[in-house]
Every structure is written in C-alpha cells, then in structure tokens.
Amino acid sequence: MNLFDVKNLLIIRLSSLGDILLTTPLVRSIKKKYPEIKIDFILKEEYKDLLKFNPYLSNIIEYKTERYEKKIILGQLAKTKYDFVVDLQNNFRSAEIRKIIKTPSVRFNKRTVDKFLLVKFKINRLKNAPQIPVRYAEALDHFKLDEDGLDLFLPSDLKPKLYDEKVLIGFAPGSKHYTKMWPKDFYIELGNKLTNDGFKIVLFGGENDLQTCYDISKKIPNSINQCSNGNILMTAVDLKKCSAIVCNDSGLMHVASALKIPTLAFFGSTVKEFGFTPYKSKSIIYENESLNCRPCTHIGREDCPKKHFNCMLELTPQTALEKLKLLLN
C-alpha cells in the first residue's frame, strides 16, 4: 500500500499493553517516511498512557465498551474523514469500527490457522515468521520499518522514586496466565542469590500482581516492592533505574524492551515463534526447548494440561543467574 496520497490515517489496536507498544515502530516509521500524514490511534482507555506523549501521533481516541459511550465514539469516528485505516487488532470490535468509517483499510494477519496447527499438532509453519512489529508492517504490503525498537515516551517532570547506591535488578513476576509465570519460589531463590552478590531487588507489577510481588519481596531481604495499581508511566520511570529486568512473557517485558533495559525473560507455555519477543533490545530468552508439549497455548493457560509444568519448573534459578550475569556483562 502506497501512503503517498493519504492525509488522515487511523490505526486500530485496542489492547493490550505489550501489543500496543509493539505498534510503535510502525507509527514512527510511517511518520518519518510520510511526515505530512496525520496519524490517529484508537485504543482502550486504560492503555492511553502508553501513547500519551508519543510525538508521532496527532490524536489518541479512547475506546469505551459501555454501549452509550461506544455509540458516541463510533459516531465521532464516522464524521472524521479518514483516508485509510490500518486495523492491527482484527477482531469483531475493530471490524465494527471499520464498518462505521467506510474507507479503504488493511488488517493485520493474525495467522490464526498457523497458531492452531502449532499448538494442537506441533506443525510449525511459524518457524521463520518475523516478530510482531514486522508482521504489523506487513499489513501495508511489507512496509519497511526503520532500525529502531519500541517507543515509550515519558514526561520529563516525572521523577523516579528509586534511589539506591547498589545495582538494582528489577523483577516483574506477574502475568495474566499461570502457565506464563516462573514460580514464585524460583524468583525468591534467584533474588537471594543476587542479594548475596551485592545487588538489590525491586519488584514491579500491576494490580493483579500485588499479592505475588508482596510474597516475593517479603522473602528477599532489603528488596523494594514497587508493585502499583496501574500507573504504567511511574512504573516505567522506576524501571529505568534498573540495570536489568527479570520477567515472564508479559506486558512489562515489552515495557523494558521499549526502555532499552537488558531483559531476561522466561517463556513457558508460549514460544518465540508467536513473535512476541523483546524487539531490538538486549535480551535473553530462557526456555525449555526439550519438551514436545510446548507450546500448549498461544496466550497462556490457568494450569498445565500435562500436570507436570516442566516448561517452567525445569528453568532453574542457578541457570537463570548465569544467564543474567551474561546479560549484564
């Protein structure tokens, strides 16, 4: 797709944290190549801070699911004269938006069949699939991205709460799904090994991670619990004080990637082929590649279908420590 004649462009990606950050290379690259284009972005209101200070966007539209509020938003979109729509969500909600706008559009290829074949039958047609930012760009006839990574712009007046003379290592132990979480006891063991080596541990997470972060912090001497109820910009400012981040396959992994913080990420029930790996940032993925039951899902599960959970239980704290020190060096 040639965007040369496009003046007003709408990008749709309603959720979630990591998926929205993964759109930022496309936003930036379009604006750099076609600086006259006015780019609007629609997303769910709880994620607006991710793009609030992005200089490449002209307008952020907050999508609301409540029937009356959604009707107002769709009405406003229908009145806006967009020349083109890039749908990076590609579900029934984004289809409703495209239908209202009635303008030429393209959609992100979610490769649903390929994911199903890999999960259910271990037929891997995603072996050479690029990372998600590149796949987003493919919606525009393989539009070429620049060589930079993800963007997360922070306000200059937001100051970190973390000040410490020791080297800080961030732990982000949460995830929406159990099978994407490295065990709490392993985080505790790794945290104590790092503390004995002179590092200081800082716990990060959102509202759903409060108990997990509390339990881990309580068992690691002198650790700092910075888990919050959802202020992602404050979390990001504090994350930048860390020399490295240890995390699961989660939204905060992509936040760390956007901030160019070295990242050690645990992949359990999911695999790299799905494309949601740290993008153009220093990272190591620690995963159990010996299991023929991986992946058992493309998003995560509430329990291990095989009842052994070896995809995470065989990722040892000692090996994680070795990989982290390799990353730091």
Tens digit of pLDDT for each residue in 21-65?
Answer: 999 999 999 999 999 999 999 999 999 999 999 999 999 999 999
The H or E element containing residue 46 is: none
Is residue 68 assigned to a domain?
Answer: yes
Is residue 249 assigned to a domain?
Answer: yes
Collapsing DSSP to helix, strand or coil, 123 comes out as coil
- CATH at 113: 3.40.50.2000
Give yes or no: residues 48 and 174 share one domain: no
Is residue 143 assigned to a domain?
Answer: no
pLDDT computed for residue 316 by the predictor: 98
Give yes or no: residues 124 and 191 share one domain: no
Written as six digits, the tokens of 68 are: 């009356």
| Cα distance between residue 133 and residue 126, in whole Å | 15
Domain boundary among 121, 138, 155: 138
Helices marked H in the chain — which ranges?
A: 17-21, 24-33, 67-79, 92-101, 112-121, 132-138, 184-196, 210-218, 232-239, 251-258, 310-313, 317-328
Is residue 248 assigned to a domain?
Answer: yes
pLDDT computed for residue 161 by the predictor: 85
Give yes or no: residues 81 and 213 share one domain: no
Give yes or no: residues 48 and 173 share one domain: no
Give yes or no: residues 307 and 254 share one domain: yes
Give yes or no: residues 197 and 256 share one domain: yes
Give yes or no: residues 218 and 97 share one domain: no
Give yes or no: residues 302 and 198 share one domain: yes
Instruction: List pLDDT tens digits, range 286-308.
Output: 999 999 999 999 999 999 999 99
Instruction: List pLDDT tens digits, range 310-320.
Output: 999 999 999 99
Is residue 144 assigned to a domain?
Answer: no
pLDDT computed for residue 1 by the predictor: 64
Give yes or no: residues 134 and 174 share one domain: no
Instruction: List pLDDT tens digits, range 69-78.
Output: 999 999 999 9
Domain holding 271, by residue range, is: 168-328
Instruction: List pLDDT tens digits, range 230-243.
Output: 799 999 999 999 99
Could you tell me which of 185, 235, 241 has the C-alpha nearest to residue 49? 235
Domain boundary among 116, 138, 160: 138
Is residue 285 assigned to a domain?
Answer: yes
Instruction: List pLDDT tens digits, range 204-230.
Output: 999 999 999 999 999 999 999 999 877
| Cα distance between residue 233 and residue 96, in whole Å | 30
Enumerate the β-bridge partners of residue 248.
266
Q: Which residue has the tokens 């793009």?
A: 51
Give yes or no: residues 106 and 203 share one domain: no
Is residue 154 assigned to a domain?
Answer: no
Domain boundary among 123, 138, 153: 138
Give yes or no: residues 187 and 304 share one domain: yes
- Looking at every residue in the chain, the average pLDDT score rounds to 96
pLDDT computed for residue 229 by the predictor: 76
Q: What is the mean pLDDT of residues 167-192?
A: 97
Is residue 265 assigned to a domain?
Answer: yes
Give yes or no: residues 172 and 126 share one domain: no
As for how many domains the chain has, the answer is: 2
